Amino acid sequence: MNHLLEVQDLHAWYGTSHILHGINMTIDPHETIGLLGRNGMGKSTLIRSILGHVPKRSGQIQVDGQSAMAMAPYQIARLGLSYVPEGRGIFPNLTVKENLIMSAKTGRKGQHDWTFERVMSTFPRLSERLNNLGEQLSGGEQQMLSIGRALMTHPDLLILDEATEGLAPLIVAEIWKVIQEIRADGIATLIVDRDWRKLLQNTDKALVIQKGKVVLSGPSKDILDHPELTKYLGV
């Protein structure tokens, strides 16, 4: 069986700055993975490298057994990866409904269970604002819309980079509930979040990176108890 995602000896650069220094990781179908590390350690760069958004990389990235190294971002997305970026990424000038409907597509394995109706019942707040433009939504509503859109693409791997950042506690709690629903649903997910306890409590496995290298990896419950965790997270 192929891994859903396999990253081997991945290096990445922005110009001459060498950011990732040989990352190895795998994600299997249905796994929920937490990605942790202090600010600027390379979490978003790792995600953006997997998705083909970082121009200079070396190493291997395979998605379901296919090499993604030479692919453009849109081709990688077609392999079943859906990304909710830091800072949301919705269409500000389209309505909530339009944002959702335009992203809908059947999954690579025929999944079609995340219907518009299911997104409406998962995010009741959005159902009340269907005709509002994306730009008229609160930050939390935009984040929900962004996750709803990703779900309607029926990804094999959903990537959430700081989906709860800067949001009110009530909204953060709602987003964690949705993350739990997605996990129970069996969609593989890679999650970055500053709330490391919550992240480790809600994932199967985790990676901690420091200066572009993996310094801890394993079952999240073991990482939670690891004596060096707080040192690596600077908390």
Ligand X SMILES: Nc1ncnc2c1ncn2[C@@H]1O[C@H](COP(=O)(O)OP(=O)(O)OP(=O)(O)O)[C@@H](O)[C@H]1O
Q: Which residues bind ligand X (CB under 6 A)?
A: 14, 17, 19, 37, 39-45
For residue 177, give the amino acid letter.
K
CA distance 213 to 129: 43
**How many CB atoms lie under 10 A from the CB of residue 235?**
10
Q: Which is nearer to Mg ion, 17 or 106 (CB)?
A: 17
Instruction: In angstroms, give the least distance from the CB of 172 to Mg ion.
Output: 17
Q: By CB under 5 A, is residue 142 in contact with Mg ion?
A: no
Q: Which is nearer to ligand X, 40 or 186 (CB)?
A: 40
Instruction: In angstroms, give the least distance from the CB of 160 to ligand X.
Output: 13
Instruction: In angstroms, give the least distance from the CB of 38 to Mg ion.
Output: 10
Q: By CB under 5 A, is residue 164 in contact with Mg ion?
A: no
Instruction: Report the residue from 19, 37, 44, 145 that binds Mg ion according to the rule CB under 5 A.
Output: 44
CA distance 218 to 220: 6
DSSP codes joined into one string, 52-93 = T-SSEEEEEEEETTEE-TT--HHHHHHTTEEEE-TT----TT
Token pair of 106 as six digits: 């059947």
Instruction: In angstroms, give the least distance from the CB of 45 to ligand X.
Output: 3
Binding positions for Mg ion, 7-26, rule CB under 5 A: none
Q: Which of 155, 183, 186 is nearest to 79 (CA)?
A: 155
Chain positions contacting Mg ion, by CB under 5 A: 43-44
